[in-house]
Amino acid sequence: MASIKKYLVVLFFLIAFLPAAKSQYAYPDPGYHFLTGKDYIQDRNFYLFTLFEKMPAIARIMAGDTTMQRIGKTYVQRVPHSVSLNITAITDPFLFTGEVISRIGNTLPDLLTRYPAEMEGLVKAMRSSGLFQLYAAMPDTALLARAWKDAAQGVNYIINAYTTNKGFRYAAIDSAVYDVSSPAYKIKVTQALKDDGNSNRRLFFRPSLDLALALLRLNKRDECARYEPLSDTNSEAYTQLKKTDWDKYTFSALLILGAGPGNTDAISDAGKNRCRIGADLFRKGLAPCIIVSGGHVHPIGTPFSEAVEMKKYLVNELKIPAAAVILEPYARHTTTNIRNAVRIAWRNGFPMNKKMCCVSDPFHLSYVSGSIFNLRCMQELSYLPATEIKQADLYFLSFIPDLKSLQADARDPLDP
């Protein structure tokens, strides 16, 4: 009898905790089909909000929730009717307060309890996307709360940064194009709020999100969306990769790190030199493809993407086949060069247990292989995008990709 009771107790706990365990360790899906809205800037920075809107059942649930309704109405009523106030007085009311973040953070797990079938579909999409990978080991309730908090803080970051021109991670390359204290900027921001106020704001987060997106556009900060969908931008190279026999190669890819010219030139001498080294390694058959990485970074407002110009140089000058060169046209820092390359590898079937090769100059590589790089990754990303980083040569090192790199980060809105 005692053994039967013991068996029933164990069975009860298995039944009770199996769903949570299944979700808690769900693996991201490299073939996941991303939902898209009308705005790639939103999709890339705030995919949680895109899911809220583009999953019909979730949109209905949230539109009908009384807590979310009240919060949404409060924010809609804050649209200014004049431009007499200073700019932060106009925009600060659209920040998500700590109280609002807490209330929504409590409401989302409650919705999971009240609407399990619909909300589990949302959670499955979140986990499959990989964009919330830092929270993959958490139960569904915590995943929802953390993802919402990240999104809210991302909106707040954009509103604060592009109305005060302060608080940027990298002010030298990410700052506002406008003089944010000018009357002209205040008028444009107020008009953007009024224009968005006429739209159909069904869900609670739209007033604040619309303002954040408008501020990025006003400042011509659409870098994160300029080459979307990246699957189209790299279609030729991605098609070629499907034929790859990975066992033939030492590395899954040769990652060439960008180097901005810092002037009006399209490509720097350092960038050209790195391309020559990468081309030589490619011709030796060390990897099936080259990933060129670097966005519109130096100087601020440059029309040139480091990756685009490096690919041109590789193809036109060094005669590397275009189908062998993959563009990663967004990275703005060495940390995200590696992070973004890992994302490309994961989405396109690269063997993730195979080393990637990173090409640059000796001084740069000594930094990447050192402790300062690890510290910077932890400070800015909260994780290391790669493991087993080893300098194999004066001009290249190797690393193993880490799936935490899939995590999106709206606090870096030009390359989330």
Structure tokens at 136: 């993959």
**Structural domain 225-406, CATH architecture:** 3-Layer(aba) Sandwich (3.40)
DSSP symbol at 26: P
| Domain chopping of the chain, boundaries | 26-221, 225-406
Contact in structure between 11 and 31 (CB atoms under 8 Å): no
For the sheet with 254-257, list strands across it: 325-328, 290-293, 254-257, 356-359, 396-401, 386-391
* pLDDT one digit per residue (tens) for the chain, 416 residues: 444 444 443 334 333 434 444 444 468 999 999 999 999 999 999 999 999 999 999 999 999 999 999 999 999 999 887 777 889 999 999 999 999 999 999 999 999 999 999 999 999 999 999 999 999 999 999 999 999 999 999 999 999 999 999 999 889 999 999 999 999 999 999 999 988 755 556 899 999 999 999 999 999 999 999 999 999 999 999 999 999 999 999 999 999 999 999 899 999 999 999 999 999 999 999 999 999 999 999 999 999 999 999 999 999 999 999 999 999 999 999 999 999 999 999 999 999 999 999 999 999 999 999 999 999 999 999 999 999 999 989 999 999 999 999 999 999 999 99
386-391 contact pairs (CB < 8 A, 24+): 386/338, 386/342, 386/356, 388/355, 391/365, 391/366
User: Residue 80: is the preceding peptide bond cis (ω within 30°)?
Assistant: no
Closest CA to 319 of 307, 311, 327, 328: 311
